[in-house]
Structure 1
Amino acid sequence: MARLPRLVVPGLPHHLIQRGHNRQPIVLDDEDRRQFLALLREAAINQRVALHAYVLMDNHLHLLATPETPEGLSRMMQSLGRRYVAAFNQRHGRSGTLWEGRFRAAPLEAERHLLACMRYIELNPQRAGWLMEPGSYAWSSGPHHLGHRRDPLITEHPLFWASGNTPFEREAAWRAWLEQGVSPEEQRALGDSALKGWPLGSAGFLQALAEGSERPVAPRQRGRPRKQV
């Protein structure tokens, strides 16, 4: 079966996942992490992509991003990959790719899933079994949203701003949101959507996407079509 083209819709948030080849590390130390995030910021600015949340784990990356153009996400990730992999290989005396194929991504209906996806991303270290306070992982957007630092990578989404009238209210609301955790159903839906490339949203959201896209926006039901009575 042919691989579906990636569905990118300008103006909508997208959940991206990029994994290391064979689940191998894509960063080995803090210098790698700083360089990775600096190159990511530069690529996002150049390609007019707003980053709302991220987590850089040892062997994979999650992003929540809104592109201004259909090519923005791909060009951002191509630029990041080209420059970072060359620097990583030179620094660590290796050759070849770091990535497990192309990055995975899918658009989300913001009103239903944006905040949930932010939480899913920033709680990734806890799901990996790392013992730390929710949102405290330094190489993520969590400390920004909790008010511990100002992160130049982050463009706060209007839905995050709507969670409180002041920075203190937004930070407190986000802390409570993180402490609720991610349900198994939410985790499965967000992970499957990005990894399989299917948009995540209501029936009306999917219908609107289908009307503007030549590729399917949901998997076909298995089996024969039901007969009309």
Structure 2
Amino acid sequence: MPRMARVVIQGMPHHVTQRGNRREDVFFCDNDRQKYLQLLLKYSDQHGLSTIAYCLMPNHVHLVCVPKHAASLAATFKPLNLRYAQHVNWTQDLTGRLWQGRFFSCVLSEKHMWNAIRYVERNPVRAGLVRRAADWPWSSASAHCGKRHDPILSPFPADPWVLPDAWADWLAIQEEQVVEEIRLCTRTGRPVGDKAFILDLEKRVGRPLIAKSVGRPRKEDK
């Protein structure tokens, strides 16, 4: 399914992901990860982007964030990705493209915002890097479990479904169908939510957002 023109709705949560070129690693040491987070904090503050969840994996990143302006996503990630690529090329003595094209994103309903946060913070568990999400030091999971303060994070745009003392147990729940829906919509750029949510977004952006079925029409539809 092809990717549609990017949809950005100010004040609503979005899932954002970016992979390394040819799926190769983009982080080579803790200093790299710290540099990425420093740049994320710098440019998100400058351009009005609130981060409510994130995870840095070896060859890709995931974020759930809320743009204050329609341009906040692009205005944050364009210089962030450029400056971080320059950092890696300099420190690793590399040349060429670090990232695989432009970042992927999709708008999330409130329900799917929580699903996306769990998906993002469970990534290291799913990849076999740690047993518990909060044990991965390069995500928002431990902060949401109440174990540390994270300057990257902004308050949730809605009342939390889960309190910090129950966050770890909530992260342990795995919902593969929801994960696949978020992955598909992020790849294609289509919003994640029920039909009423998507129809409301269509009115706001003035273009169709629901995927049309592919193939020949049924006889009764002709």
Superposition TM-score tier, normalisation by shorter sequence: over 0.9
User: Does the 8 A contact of 2:3 with 2:189 survive in 1?
Assistant: no
| Alignment correspondent of 1:174 | 167
| Alignment correspondent of 1:122 | 121
| Alignment correspondent of 1:39 | 39
User: Does the 8 A contact of 1:5 with 1:215 survive in 2?
Assistant: no
Which structure 2 segments of 5+ residues have no match? none
Specify whether residues 27 and 228 from structure 1 end up closer, same or farther in structure 2 by C-alpha distance, changes over 3 A only. closer
Aligned residue runs from structure 1 range 75-224, under 5 A: 75-110=75-110, 112-159=111-158, 161-163=159-161, 170-180=163-173, 182-224=174-216
Which structure 1 segments of 5+ residues have no match? 165-169
Q: Given residue 209 of structure 2, which amino acid in structure 1 is its aligned partner?
A: V
Counterpart of 1:53 in 2: which secondary structure?
strand
| Alignment correspondent of 2:55 | 55
Counterpart of 2:62 in 1: which secondary structure?
strand
User: Does the 8 A contact of 2:11 with 2:67 survive in 1?
Assistant: yes
Q: Given residue 126 of structure 1, which amino acid in structure 2 is its aligned partner?
A: V
Q: What CA distance in whole angstroms lies between the structure 2 residues aligned with 1:22 and 1:132?
A: 27
Counterpart of 2:135 in 1: which secondary structure?
coil
TM-score normalized with structure 1 length: 0.91
Dislocated runs of 4+, deviation >6 Å: none
Q: Displacement, 1:150? A: 0.4
Q: Given residue 223 of structure 1, which amino acid in structure 2 is its aligned partner?
A: G
Counterpart of 1:26 in 2: which secondary structure?
coil
Q: What CA distance in whole angstroms lies between the structure 2 residues aligned with 1:188 and 1:128?
A: 15
| Alignment correspondent of 1:167 | none
Q: Given residue 76 of structure 1, which amino acid in structure 2 is its aligned partner?
A: T
Q: Displacement, 1:75? A: 1.0
Q: Displacement, 1:187? A: 1.1
Q: Displacement, 1:2? A: 8.0
Counterpart of 1:151 in 2: which secondary structure?
coil
How many residues get paired? 221
Q: Given residue 114 of structure 2, which amino acid in structure 1 is its aligned partner?
A: L
Q: What CA distance in whole angstroms lies between the structure 2 residues aligned with 1:213 and 1:158?
A: 21
Q: Displacement, 1:228? A: 5.6
Q: Displacement, 1:188? A: 0.4
Q: What CA distance in whole angstroms lies between the structure 2 residues aligned with 1:49 and 1:131?
A: 29
Q: Displacement, 1:87? A: 1.4
Counterpart of 1:9 in 2: which secondary structure?
coil
